[in-house]
Structure 1
């Protein structure tokens, strides 16, 4: 982990990649460009500098994170080091866990077939979906 002793800003897309919010740096840059990342309440650009104690709001799919930057890094390291780069706010953690619980509950109520459809049933499904 390359920590900045002088609190030199790190590009937000590099930091998001190093903190393992996104699998690749290009995915992080695309999320920033799409308005999914805010630094201290302002929409960020990929080149926006992140400093220690900045607050980031990250939207990734249906999940929203609100984190405070605790350390800086431009290199991606092990997950154990990545977790030390930020601290998620308690409100964000509670909201994210509540959303996950709602998704689990919704998934439990959806009907699931007990068996896979056989060949005849697959043909019938295909005809039904194609409007024949």
Structure 2
């Protein structure tokens, strides 16, 4: 039998890699069944992860896909945390918003009427 593979609890690794501010937040995401390890859904924060595993999970309004490169010893500074993973998340595409004034100062009443169709009503 080969050497044992190094592993770490998934909630602890997500916290050390600075994806979540607290370990309990990371555990909550895992417990809710929102994390996948190598395509398999994981629901226990005590599940282990090791180098080479691919994780898929929601973070804010994005779906993150990362490959684990190393296990951390501690929750260190951001550059140290970024060395623990390879980010495979595709870059976000910018969505064009409403047109903006050209920056010539405050728009006139006539110019503001052009933007009304793009604004939401406060009652919506």
TM-score normalized with structure 2 length? 0.71
**How do 1:1-132 and structure 2 match up within 5 A?**
7-44=5-42, 45-89=44-88, 92-94=89-91, 97-98=92-93, 101-102=94-95, 105-106=96-97, 109=98
- What SS class does the counterpart of residue 93 from structure 1 fall into? coil
**Higher relative contact order (Cα pairs below 8 Å, separated by 6+ residues):** 1
Against the structure 1 CA distance between its residues 110 and 27, is the aligned structure 2 distance closer, same or farther, given a 3 Å change threshold? farther
Q: How many residues align?
A: 99
1:7 Cα offset (Å) = 3.8
Task: Give every structure 1 segment of 4 or more consecutive aligned residues whose post-TM-superposition deviation is greater than 6 Å.
Answer: none
Pairwise CA RMSD of aligned residues?
Answer: 2.1
Alpha-carbon separation, structure 2, partners of 1:46 and 1:40: 16
Against the structure 1 CA distance between its residues 10 and 110, is the aligned structure 2 distance closer, same or farther, given a 3 Å change threshold? farther
Deviations for 1:86-112, whole angstroms, at most 9, x for unmatched residues? 0012xx233xx22xx22xx34xx299x
1:36 Cα offset (Å) = 1.9
Against the structure 1 CA distance between its residues 87 and 110, is the aligned structure 2 distance closer, same or farther, given a 3 Å change threshold? same
* Maintained 8 Å contact 1:15/1:74: no
Structure 1 residue runs of 5 or longer lacking an equivalent are 1-5, 115-127
- What SS class does the counterpart of residue 20 from structure 2 fall into? coil
Deviations for 1:28-76, whole angstroms, at most 9, x for unmatched residues? 0011111221111111120110010000001113211111100002521
Against the structure 1 CA distance between its residues 27 and 74, is the aligned structure 2 distance closer, same or farther, given a 3 Å change threshold? farther
Greater percentage in helix: 1
